[in-house]
Structure 1
Amino acid sequence: MTPVPPADLLVDGRRDPIGVGPSPVLSRHAQRQRQAQVQVVDDEGELVCDSGTVLTSTRDLRSAARYAPAAR
């Protein structure tokens, strides 16, 4: 598996760094809310990927981040 390049995951407007493993804050948020609108932005703040759908688990959030670079 190719490592995920560093990026920021915006979960309901909150920034969470990704690329080095799941964030405990992100995990708690996903477990508590069970839904999140996700946007992935690069280091320069440009939108890389907008999920356009509601993701329901931390696993889905990591998947969105993994495939976001292909969306460019």
Structure 2
Amino acid sequence: MIIENLDALKTWLTKTLEPICDADPSALAKYVVALVKKDKSEKELRALCIDQLDVFLQKETQTFVDKLLKL
């Protein structure tokens, strides 16, 4: 995933994650950025994000990953 504006992405992630998880949204946003920076196809990236974020987001994981990959 090509990230054009890292600060804007982190801001969006923090705001989006805050109401749907118990983890620190800022720390989780940094983790998500690290995940999406990996050099993988969109299909591989989707599977990786769903697998890694499920523990934090549970039933919200699929919806969150869909929104994230549409950015």
Q: Give the TM-score normalised by structure 2.
A: 0.30
Q: Give the TM-score normalised by structure 1.
A: 0.29
The structure carrying a bigger strand percent of its residues is: 1
The structure carrying a bigger helix percent of its residues is: 2
